[in-house]
Structure 1
Amino acid sequence: MTGLGVGALAAAAPTPITSAGDARLGAAVLAGIAVIVLLITRFRLHAFLALTVGSLALGTLAGAPVDRTLASFTAGLGSTVAGVGVLIALGAVLGGLLAGSGGADAIVDTILARARGRAMPWAMVLIASVIGLPLFFEVGIVLLVPVVLLVARRGGHSPMRIGIPALAGLSVMHGLVPPHPGPLVAVDALHADLGVTLALGVLVAVPTVVVAGPLFARYAARRVDVPLPPEAETAPPAPEAPGTAVRRPRFGAAVCTVLLPVVLMLGKALADIAVDDPADGLRRFADVAGSPLVALLAAVLTGMFTLGRAAGFTRDRLAATVERSLAPIGGVLLIVGAGGGFKQTLIDAGVGRMVLDLSRDWAVPTLLLAWLIAVAIRLATGSATVATISASGLVAPLAAGLPTAQTALLVLAVGAGSLFFSHVNDAGFWLVKEYFAMSVGQTVRTWSVMETIISVVGLGFVLLLSLVL
C-alpha cells in the first residue's frame, strides 16, 4: 500500500509535455494550486475559470508549450464530462422528481411519524441519508432545514440536537457515496469499480455518520445553545407550481425509486464476485443493468411513473420538472470538467511520476497520502468538489496496479479528505450559518467540527478496511 513499481508505470505512461525536473515541477504545481486558491478566495472568481487559469499557469511554469498544455486541458475536460456528465444530469433529474412530486415530503413525514423522543436524531440521519442520496448537498439543505426547525419546535429539541444528524447524513452522502459528483469524478479518475466503491462507501458511511451525527450532536447541543430562528414559528407554505397535484407518491414507491440505482449497482458488484465467467448470461445482464448510466436512467424513467405520474403530473409538467432539474447543474458540470482538465494537465506534466517517487522515498501509505492531499486542497479552496477532483488527479498514478477493493478505498480516502474542516471559504459554511442563525464561532464549533469528525473517522474506517481487503 506504500508504493508501486515506478519503472513499470513510467514505461506505460505517455511522454510528458515538459522535461522539467522534480524541483521545478513541484514549484509549478504549488504555484498552479496557489493561483486557483487565490482566484477563488481572494477574487471570488468562479471555480471553472480559476481551474482553467490554474491549469495554464501550471503548464507554463513547468516549461510546457502552451499548445500542449491546452491540448492536455481540453482532453481532460472532454473525457471527464463524457465520463460523468450524463450521470450528474440523471442524478439531478431524479432529485428534481423526488422534490417536485412531494416524494421527499412523503419520506420525511412517514419516518417522523414513527420516531419519538430520543429516536428523533436517528430518524433525521435516516431521512438525510435517503433524501441526500440523489440530491446535491445544497438542495438537500434547502429541503431538510425547514423540517429540522419544525421538528425541533414541536418536540422541544435543541436545533443542534436535530440539525447535526441531518447535516451529517447529507455531508457523508455528498463526500463518500456515488452518484454525487465528487465521488463519481474520483471513480472515473482512478478507474475504480463503481459498484465496489458504492458498497464500501456505504460500509464506511454508516459508522461515520453515527459518530458525527447523533453522537456528536449530544455534545454540540450542550456546548452551543442555538435558539430557534424566528422564521421557524410562522414559516408560510411554499406556493404550488402550476399543474402540481395535491396527492403525494407513496412512501414505499419513493424509497424504492431512490434506492433503485444503488440496488442495481450493488447487484453488478455482487455478480462480478459470485460469477467467475464474464460470458455468463446472469453476469452480463447484471453488468449492463448495474452500469451507472443504465442504473440511473432506469431510476429516472421509473421515477416519472412512481413519482411524477403518481403525483398527478401531466406530460407537460413532467417535461417542465426535468427541464428545471437540469438548469442548475450547468455550473457543476463546468467545474467538474475544468477539474478534469486540471487533473489531465497534472498527469501529462509528469506530476504522477513525481508523486510516485515521493510516495516511495517517504514510505507514505497511499491512502494516507491521498487523504492529506485532499485535506490540503479542501482547506485552501473551501470546495469539496475541487478538492476531490484535484487530489484524484495527483494520486491517479498510485491507483495503477492496485486491487479493485484498494482502488475503491483510495476513492473513499480522497472523499473523506475533501470534507475536512469546512470554514469561511466554503459556501456550505455560510449556508449552514444563516439557516440556523448562528455566529461564525458557533458555526465553527458545530458544523466545522462535525465535518472534521466525518473526515477523520471516515479515514479511520478506510484504513481499517484496507487491512482486511
Structure 2
Amino acid sequence: MADPILILLVGVVIVVGGIIGFKLHPFLALLLAALAVALLTPPELVEQYYLSKGVSAIDAYKQAHKSIGERIGIEFGNTCAKIGILIAMAAIIGKAMLDSGAAEKIIRSMLKVTGEKNAPLGFILSSFFLTIPVFVDTVIFLMMPLAKAMGMRLKKNYLLLALSVIAGAVMANSYVPPSPGPLILVSSFNVPIGLLMVCGVLLGLCTITVGFFIAKYLNKKFDIPLRDSPDARLEDIAAIAEKDDSELPSLGWALLPAAFPLVTICIRSAVEAFHKSDKPLTEIPFVNTVLDIVLFFGDKNIALLMGGLFALLVLAKQKKTSKDKILAFTSTALASGGGIILITAAGGAFGGMLQQTGISSRIADLTKDYQMALIPLAFFITMVVRTAQGSATVALITASGILAGMAQNANLGFHPVYLCLAIGSGAKLIPWMNDAGFWIMCKTSNLTEEEALKTIAPMQSLMGLAGVILTMIAAWIFPMV
C-alpha cells in the first residue's frame, strides 16, 4: 500500500474510529494514526519527500531510514517547539482574565457602548475578541451567565443573546491566533502569524455578522425561555448584574494581557512584511532603538509570555492574594493548557507522518490544473473530519497535515493564508453530539439537545459556509501573490 491517498484513508479511519468507536482520547488516537501511517509508508516515499524539500541525497536517505519511533518523536517535538509556549501562556492569560474580573470588565465596557437594546451585538463582539486570547470554552462559561442575566433584565430575546455568545466565540476560535487551531495552521503553512490575525479578524467579523442575522431569525422562530437550573439559579443570575464596578480592575489593566501580545505581534508582522532589507528602519537612532525593543517583544513566544505575566500581575493586584496562591493558580492553568499541547503535538506528529507519504504532492498533481479548487477542497476535508469526530481542533490539524505542502507550491495562485481561512471555515461544520463543545454550549445555555440541533448547529454551519464563500471571493480579487 504505497499510494498516499490510501495511507491517508487508513490514518483518518484510525483517528475517527479511535475517537468515536473506541472512545480513545484524541492524543492516543492521533499517535496511533501516526504510527500506522509511518508503518505503511515505504522508505522510498519518505526519501522522496525530503529530496523535494531540498535536502541532500545523503541526508534524505538518513532521514528515511530512521526508526519509526524517532521520526514520530521528531515531528511531535517540532510541533511542541512551535506552539507549546503559546498555548501554555494562552491558558494562563485566559484563566487569569476570568478570575481577576478583567474579562467581565471588558464585556461591561462593551455594553456601555452598545446599550442594553443592542446587547446581543455587544455580546457577539465581546465573545469574538475575548476568544482571541482566551480558550473558547472558558469564554462561553464566562459569558453565558451574563447572557442569562441580560435575558432576565430584558425579559425577552434570551436565545438571541445565547446564540450571540456562541457565534462570536466559535468563529474566533477557528480563525485568529493564538487559538490552538490557527496556531497549528500558522506553523504548517508558514503563514506570518500577524497576517492570519488580520485576515482572521476581518473574515471573523464578516461571518459573525451573518451569524447575528441567523440568530435573530432563530430567535423569532423559536420561543425558548430563560430556564432555572441547579448550577445557575435565576436568583443567582440576577446577582451577577448587580456587581459593583469597584470589584473589577480598570479597563486599561483588563485589556493589557490581551492587547499587549496582539499589538506587538501585529507590529512585528507588519515590519517583517514591508521592510525586507537589513538597513535601519528610520534615520533616527532613538526611534530605531524603540522599534527594536517593540520588535523584540513582538516575537510570538515573548509576546505571549509577557501577556501571561501581565495577566498574573492584574490577578495579584485585584485579588491581593499570596504568592502560594498565585503558584497554585498558575499550576492549574498550565495543567489545562498541557492537555491541549499534547493533543496538538500528537496531531503534528500525525500530520508529519502524512506529509512524509507525499500526500501533498499527490494532491497537487491531482489538482494542478484546478488550483482555485484547493480552497473548497480544504474546506471539504476539514468539514468531513470535524463532522465525523467532533473536535474542530483535530479537524484543523488533520486538514493542515494533508494540505500543508500546498503552501510551498510555486503555482498556487493565491496566498496560503486563504487555505488557512478555508480550513477554519470547514471546522465549523457540523456540530452535534460527538462534539464536546456542543455539550458545553447546550448545557450552559440550558437548551435541550433538540433545541441545540435546531439552533446552534445550523447557525455554525451557515457561518462556516459563508466563511469559505467569502474566502474564495477574496482569493480571486486579492490573491496577494
Give your verdict on TM over 0.5: yes
TM-score normalised to the size of structure 1?
A: 0.88
1:240 matched to which residue of 2? none
User: What is the distance in 2 between the residues matched to 1:301 and 1:437?
Assistant: 35
Are the counterparts in 2 of residues 249 and 311 from structure 1 also a CA contact under 8 Å? Answer: no
Identity %: 27
Task: For 2:431 and 2:70, locate their aligned partners in 1 and report how far apart those are by CA, in whole Å.
Answer: 34
Instruction: Letter of the 2:123 partner, please give it.
Output: M
Listed one character per residue, the Cα deviations across residues 62-92 of structure 1 (whole Å, up to 9, x for unaligned) are 4569974333322111100111011000111
1:262-277 alignment, distance < 5 Å: 262-277=262-277
Q: Which runs of 5+ in 1 are unaligned?
A: 1-19, 238-245
Deviation sequence 1:188-245 (CA, Å, 0-9, x none): 1111111111111111111111111x211111112222221213543548xxxxxxxx
Which of residues 347, 360, 371 is equivalent to 2:355? Answer: 347
AA at the equivalent of 2:79: T
Letter in 1 for 2:302: V
Residue type of the alignment partner of 1:28:
I
CA contact (8 A) 2:256 2:307 kept: no
Aligned equivalents of 1:428, 1:287: Cα separation in 2: 36
SS at match of 1:323: helix
Does structure 2 conserve the Cα–Cα contact (< 8 Å) formed by 1:165 and 1:217? yes
Distance 1:50 1:76 in 2: 16
1:99-142: CA deviation from partner (whole Å, max 9, x where unpaired): 11111122223333454343111010122123222211111111
SS of 2:416 mapped into structure 1: helix
Deviations 1:246-279 (A, max 9, x none): 8321123212332221111111122234434244
Q: How does 1:160-309 map to 2 (within 5 A)?
A: 160-212=159-211, 214-231=212-229, 232-234=232-234, 236=236, 247-280=247-280, 282=288, 284-309=292-317
CA contact (8 A) 2:76 2:345 kept: yes
User: In structure 2, do the counterparts of structure 1 residues 88 and 265 end up closer, same or farther at CA, with 3 Å as the change threshold?
Assistant: same
Separation of aligned partners in 2, 1:313 and 1:382 = 39
- 2: CA distance, partners of 1:434 / 1:191: 38
Which residue pairs with 2:37 in the alignment? 58
The aligned amino acid for 1:254 is: A
Distance 1:449 1:66 in 2: 48
- 2:415 equivalent to 1:406: yes
Show the 5 A alignment for 1:63-462: 63=42, 68-212=67-211, 214-231=212-229, 232-234=232-234, 236=236, 247-280=247-280, 282=288, 284-360=292-368, 365-401=373-409, 406-462=415-471
Q: Are residues 1:29 and 2:8 paired?
A: yes
Structure 1 CA distance for aligned equivalents of residues 295 and 429 of structure 2? 34
User: C-alpha distance in 1, partners of 2:235/2:333?
Assistant: 25
TM-score by length of 2: 0.85
Kept after mapping to 1: 8 A contact 2:88/2:338: no
Counterpart of 2:185, as a letter, is A
Q: 1:234 to 1:261 in 2, by over 3 A?
A: same
Instruction: Provide the rounded CA distance (Å) in 1 between the counterparts of 2:201 and 2:459.
Output: 19
- SS of 2:142's equivalent? helix
Unaligned runs of 5+ in 2: 44-63, 238-245, 282-287
- Equivalent-residue separation in structure 1 for 2:295 and 2:364 (angstroms): 33
Contact kept in structure 1, 2:2 and 2:42, CA below 8 Å: no
The amino acid of 2:228's aligned partner reads P
1:361 Cα offset (Å): 5.5
Contact 1:60-1:66 within 8 A present in 2 as well: no
Alpha-carbon separation, structure 1, partners of 2:371 and 2:199: 25
Contact kept, 8 Å, 1:73 with 1:345, in 2: the verdict is: yes
CA–CA distance in structure 1, aligned partners of residues 257 and 414 of structure 2: 27
State the superposition RMSD in angstroms.
Answer: 2.6
